[in-house]
Structure 1
């Protein structure tokens, strides 16, 4: 037995942001609160969408206090903003941070208490306000997932919030919103999406349907990632990346991520490394650690990415995959934690605590090879340089 969890409606294609008012009307939403950040307000993206909504007769509010790696205090401020008017929906515009912020706001507004009450292994299934997402990066897949990641400032812990309340009601996936994104952001979010697809496929919770999403996401992302980075105005590459990121989101929302993400979150929480970048730092080493426990699956990943033929053996295919992941990091100038500027003494001193947090998140338990704390510490040490 397996299940499939998806939004009610996903609208995808260039220019689809112009359909926002129509989509909200179909869902019966007349008074949305836009959840976004100040940068997107300044670029005019939010103003364009808000103006179209108002022209269609909707009453619109804006909460633009979201931050990278959304925090408990921001969620609480958002819930306070919700109480000021009779909002009937949340419209998240932005990358993973605004989308995760909106999801957490919906959860906390319904259940009350503290955000920590909803961290895994709790299941956040109840919310009154529907969340509609318009992603502006091709990476997190949060527009279609049942997850949110919220940082507890008091403990420097990235808490995984999971449940049906985090699953958006609908998403508008418009690749045109990514055309102006710089190389570093494109690279980091793109490797994040590729990691989602790979981890969903090798996850112990993979299903026949999540496999379909994961494999197609890989086919779209890998051959187009470099092009999207180095030719930012390339519509074909940008559209493929956006579609692939959404499919990867559907894959891991139903199969879960694994060890890379479990280890990545503490690096982000303690050292404020962007999520996609910390995934990229870890992906080659963690893949090498995990592959012996699922050689056939990783070999299929290699063949799907076009790195090995059907005639080549699994071991040769996996070797090609490991080489390709390292080459991708080199081509996209992914730094090591050391090169990023993370202090070695602090990093080494926190490795055991990071390993314990990684295991507690549950994600490493989905890995083909489930690690111990000591093995995670060894991987952190290996990744530093």
Structure 2
């Protein structure tokens, strides 16, 4: 008998296929808000007119912006953004950019609500062993315009890097999920190909680890199967023609669906857990961690969930093939890195990576039980 719990997050709307500037303004109208603080991609802000379009459309409702969020969302940048949003008197944060910016705004919401003013104060709001401390709920929420497809805007979890320890820490609160997500494929034209495709594999990773979890259930499966099918079709189309807006939107909707398992309480596994460590310790982009680790994790897990892995191959249009091989071929065809060597991580780092991975929320819930760092090291060797 299935058992589980599906929690519907506090997101009001997902708007897709509409221009970002118009959709953002409409959300402020809907929510009766008047002081929008933008957290945006520095590249978009400096090299395109996309952010200016939003500023102009908001008019007097625009009160400031922050465009200096580095990859992996370091604590110091979160605090700097929070100070600017506080000084501006923001009543809504609008993000335009990738996952680090989206996660940054989630953390900023908690900083504003809990008077976090220096990096070390984040100790008081970070989750420990996946459990968040008691804290004030955010009152300043977020509207998200993602330019990549890792799907973080659909999650109430943020990853923030402690630069002192080089560990990515979890922040979570049910209200940090965006109030609205705006999926505008046109604004993503500026996203570099490697970033679009690799974050697409991150979304594939959500689908695959959700499907292969020992805690999977039909509601989550429905999202993951459709999302995986859309991503498997859409990503090669964008690779072939960067201007194909229909394919880009297909990828965006696939990424949205990929977050269904997490939203429905299905945990991720070792690919995500090891990926947390590779990002924080070695500054590997999130998408690349999934490109490198996911096929290896599938192969290591196959003795425990071969039947579930058959769903992965079928959803990707290759029923009957080994899922690890299907993912390996798919990622290679997109031109993404496929080994730890490709991202310049050698065996001398494996023991430390394995130790830290054991402390992540996902490795202990991997479908094939992982009891010790030596087993994580086995996966790393498969990915070498």
1:310-321 matched pairs, under 5 angstroms: 317=320, 319-321=321-323
Aligned positions, number:
368
Change (3 A) 1:356 1:108: farther
CA distance in structure 1 between the partners assigned to 2:221 and 2:369 by the alignment: 20
CA distance in structure 2 between the partners assigned to 1:35 and 1:180 by the alignment: 17
Note the alpha carbon deviations across 1:209-240, whole angstroms, 9 max, x for none: 22221111011001221121221111221111
Aligned twin of 1:119: 127
Aligned twin of 1:46: 51
Q: Partner of 1:2: helix, strand, or coil?
A: coil
Q: Partner of 2:61: helix, strand, or coil?
A: coil
CA distance in structure 2 between the partners assigned to 1:21 and 1:13 by the alignment: 15
Aligned twin of 1:180: 190
1:45-84 matched pairs, under 5 angstroms: 45-54=50-59, 57-84=60-87
Q: Does 1:19 align with 2:29?
A: no
Displacement of 1:12 in angstroms is 1.3
Residue 290 of structure 2 is aligned with which of 266, 279, 291? 279
Aligned twin of 1:314: none
CA distance in structure 1 between the partners assigned to 2:261 and 2:96 by the alignment: 22
Answer whether contact 1:218 1:305 (CA < 8 A) is retained. Answer: yes
Answer whether contact 1:197 1:252 (CA < 8 A) is retained. Answer: no
- Structure 2, unaligned runs of 5 or more: none
Decide which moves more: 140-149 or 325-334. 325-334
Residue 338 of structure 1 is aligned with which of 337, 341, 350? 341
CA distance in structure 2 between the partners assigned to 1:233 and 1:82 by the alignment: 35
- Structure 1, unaligned runs of 5 or more: 309-316
Q: Partner of 2:34: helix, strand, or coil?
A: coil
TM-score normalized by structure 1?
0.90
Note the alpha carbon deviations across 1:259-289, whole angstroms, 9 max, x for none: 1010011111122111101111011110111
Change (3 A) 1:3 1:362: same
Answer whether contact 1:200 1:251 (CA < 8 A) is retained. Answer: yes
Aligned twin of 2:216: 206
Aligned twin of 2:233: 223
Aligned twin of 1:362: 361
Q: What is the alpha-carbon root mean square deviation over aligned residues?
A: 1.8
CA distance in structure 1 between the partners assigned to 2:205 and 2:358 by the alignment: 18
Note the alpha carbon deviations across 1:60-117, whole angstroms, 9 max, x for none: 3111121111100001111211221221111111010110000001112212452233
Aligned twin of 1:376: 376
Displacement of 1:14 in angstroms is 4.1
